[in-house]
Structure 1
Amino acid sequence: MLLLIPGPVQTRPEVRAAMAADIAPWDDDHRAEHAGLRARLLAIAGGAPGGHAVLPVTGSGHAAVEACLRTFVPAGGKVLIPLNGAYAHRMARLAREAGRVVAGLEVPDTRPVRAEEVAAALAADPAIGHVGMVYSETGSGIVNDPEAIGAVVRAAGRRLILDAVSAFGALPFRMAAHPECDALAFTTGKCLEGMPGIGIAVARTDRLLACAGQAGSWVLDLAAIHEHAVHNGPGSHRFTPAVQVFRALGVALDLYEREGGQPARLARYAENARVLYEGVRALGLTPYLERRHQGPVVVTVRQPADPAFTLPGFVAALKARGVLISNFFTTAAPTFRVGCIGAVAPEDMRAAVRAMGEALDSLGVRRRAPA
């Protein structure tokens, strides 16, 4: 089965095989392994040893995002979130349910937020202390620009929290070049092509010290995770972790480095997205985004107006042909989405386009323009 969802992604056999071991998380061999992984992830994030820390939280990427919000935004503090996708709305919900105040900046889910929009919102409300932004919106496929937004946040004297869950490892970002960024969040099961199960934050150590005790959660307190690592070593865990996921991540990082790291991974994903984008257009389908706004992580396509088309029927017809995509959509208009990340290559995307054409024909979908 060709798995084309934006996470958890299709993985290499070597990565899956690494899970088949019993591991004691407190064993000295695993402690060394875990400390090494933290150092490798810090390098990918462009962090400075001592100035930034890698902080794992067992759970999904949402766990890491919530931990960032709780740790760095004080209870009752206000965070500006550009709302141009489903995952931005999720970030807003995480903040609200943690007792933080959300200032939502409404933006269409078909384009990135503009720097001037963020600048205007910050100028209008001095109570806003943070901007929380999704780097890669896996609902629609757009990519917001942390370089432009970071510069605006920095100029305004505010702080940034970056949800890089479906971006980290492929889209570039260097923590050391962004003093305004308190933390970025990501997960093991997306662009690093590891197994799912661990959310990770990379955060400024000075900010961790300054924000100690304000998370309102023992488990999701990045300052407490950092303090534990300082006192017990970077290979230590506070609670029982998903140790097999760490082992698989080490293998995935070996493959990542062998491929050529971030630039090579971005190049492969961008080519995957190009092949898919052009392929669905050749089938008479309409991508959700203009080409200039299309990111490399997921291509979202408007559902055909033909009454013979249903999303469950299309997903089932594709699955029968060996291609599995998401069976739901989160965009403002009806769509289907196809992931371009994971251990897949352009030839896989060409095969997926052929399968889509066959699936549409089998369903009798002739009118492929959207409503």
Structure 2
Amino acid sequence: MLLLIPGPVQTRPETRAAMAQDYAPWDNDFRAVYAEIRERVRDLAGGVKGEHATLCLQGCGHFMMEAAIRTFIPAGGKLLVPRNGAYAERAVRLATEAGREVVSLHAPDTEGVAPDKVAAALAADPGISHVVMVQNETGSGIVNDAQAVGAVVRAAGRRMILDSVSAFGALPMSLAEQPELDALLFTSGKCLEGLPGIGFAIARVDRLEACQGQAGSWSFDLADVYQHALRAGWGSFRFTPPVQALAAFRVALDLHAQEGGQPARLARYTANMHVLYEGVQTLGLTPYLALRHQGPIIVTIHQPADPAFALQPFVDALKARGVLISNFYNTTAPTMRIGCVGAITPEDMRGAVAAIGEALQELGVRQLAAA
């Protein structure tokens, strides 16, 4: 089965094979594996030893976002959220339910966040301490410019939390060049092509030390994760970790490096995206984003207006042809989203485009213009 979703992504056999044995997380051999992973992802993010620390939680990207908000923004504190997609909306809910005050910066989900509008919002409200932004919106496929937005946050003397869950490992990042970032958030099962189950935050040590005791949650306190590492060692997890997923993740990091690292992975995903984007246009379908705004992670496509089209039967017809896509969408308009990431190639994408055409024909969909 060709898995074309934005995560968990298709993985290599070598990665999956690492899951096929039992591990003890407290064993000294495995502690060395975990400590190595923490250093490797810090370095991959352009972090600095002694200035940045890798912190992990069991679970998904939403867990990391809630943990970062709770850890770095005190209860009652105010944050700005640029809202141009479904995952920014989820950050708003996580922050609100954690008792933080959200200032919204609304924008369409068809174009990136405008740095000048972020700057204006910060200038208008000195009470905002943080900007919380999603780097890649997996609802639409839009990429927000983390470097440009970070620059205006830095110039305003504020802090930033960046959700890079569906971008890290493919899009460039240098924490050393962005000191305004309290934390960069990502997970194991996206562009690094590991198995799901591990959430990561790479955070500034000085901020972790300054923010102890304000999370209001033991489970979601990154400052406590950091203090635990200082006490018990960098190979130690606070609570029982997903050890098989960690073992597989180390193999995924090896494969990422062998491919050529972040630039090579971005190049492959970009090639995948172009094959898909141009292919669906050739079929007569309409991409949700203009090409100038299209990111390399996911292509979202308007559902056809033809009454013969319905998303779940289309997904089923594709699955029967060995291609699996998401059976839901996160945009206002009816769409279908197809991932360009994972252990897949442009040739795989050409096969997927052919399968899309066959599935539409089987369902009797003739009117392919946007609904």
The aligned counterpart of 2:190 is 190
| 1:33 Cα deviation after fit | 0.8
Whether 1:161 aligns to 2:148 is no
| 1:89 Cα deviation after fit | 0.4
The aligned counterpart of 2:120 is 120
Whether 1:89 aligns to 2:89 is yes
- Secondary structure, aligned partner of 2:149: helix
- CA distance in 1 between counterparts of 2:83 and 2:173 reads 21
- Secondary structure, aligned partner of 2:147: helix
- Equivalent positions of 1:64-213 (< 5 A) are 64-213=64-213
| 1:62 Cα deviation after fit | 1.0
The C-alpha deviation readout for 1:99-135, integer Å capped at 9, x for no partner, is: 1111111100111010111011111111111000000
| 1:237 Cα deviation after fit | 1.1
Answer yes or no: is the 8 Å Cα contact 1:287–1:299 preserved in 2. Answer: yes
| 1:313 Cα deviation after fit | 1.1
- CA distance in 2 between counterparts of 1:314 and 1:161 reads 37
Q: Which runs of 5+ in 1 are unaligned?
A: none
- Secondary structure, aligned partner of 1:286: coil
Report % sequence identity: 67
The C-alpha deviation readout for 1:163-219, integer Å capped at 9, x for no partner, is: 000011000111111111100100000000000001000000000000011111101
- CA distance in 2 between counterparts of 1:65 and 1:141 reads 19
- Secondary structure, aligned partner of 1:299: strand
Instruction: Name the amino acid aligned to 2:124.
Output: A
- CA distance in 1 between counterparts of 2:337 and 2:298 reads 7
The aligned counterpart of 1:362 is 362
Whether 1:265 aligns to 2:265 is yes
- CA distance in 2 between counterparts of 1:63 and 1:268 reads 29
- Secondary structure, aligned partner of 1:166: coil
- CA distance in 2 between counterparts of 1:343 and 1:15 reads 10
Instruction: Name the amino acid aligned to 1:172.
Output: P
The aligned counterpart of 1:322 is 322
| 1:66 Cα deviation after fit | 1.0
| 1:21 Cα deviation after fit | 1.1
Instruction: Name the amino acid aligned to 1:205.
Output: V
The aligned counterpart of 1:232 is 232
Answer yes or no: is the 8 Å Cα contact 1:191–1:342 preserved in 2. Answer: yes
Instruction: Name the amino acid aligned to 1:142.
Output: I
Q: Which runs of 5+ in 2 are unaligned?
A: none
Answer yes or no: is the 8 Å Cα contact 1:272–1:345 preserved in 2. Answer: yes
Answer yes or no: is the 8 Å Cα contact 1:298–1:337 preserved in 2. Answer: yes
- Secondary structure, aligned partner of 2:238: coil
The aligned counterpart of 1:295 is 295
- Equivalent positions of 1:14-29 (< 5 A) are 14-29=14-29
| 1:90 Cα deviation after fit | 0.6
Number of residue pairs matched?
371
The C-alpha deviation readout for 1:206-262, integer Å capped at 9, x for no partner, is: 000000111111011110000111121110111100011100001101100000000
- Secondary structure, aligned partner of 1:154: helix
- CA distance in 1 between counterparts of 2:309 and 2:197 reads 34
- CA distance in 2 between counterparts of 1:49 and 1:67 reads 22
Instruction: Name the amino acid aligned to 2:369.
Output: A
| 1:76 Cα deviation after fit | 0.5
- CA distance in 1 between counterparts of 2:262 and 2:194 reads 15
- CA distance in 1 between counterparts of 2:98 and 2:243 reads 28
Instruction: Name the amino acid aligned to 1:150.
Output: G
- Secondary structure, aligned partner of 1:226: helix
- CA distance in 2 between counterparts of 1:16 and 1:340 reads 20
Answer yes or no: is the 8 Å Cα contact 1:109–1:332 preserved in 2. Answer: no
The aligned counterpart of 1:3 is 3
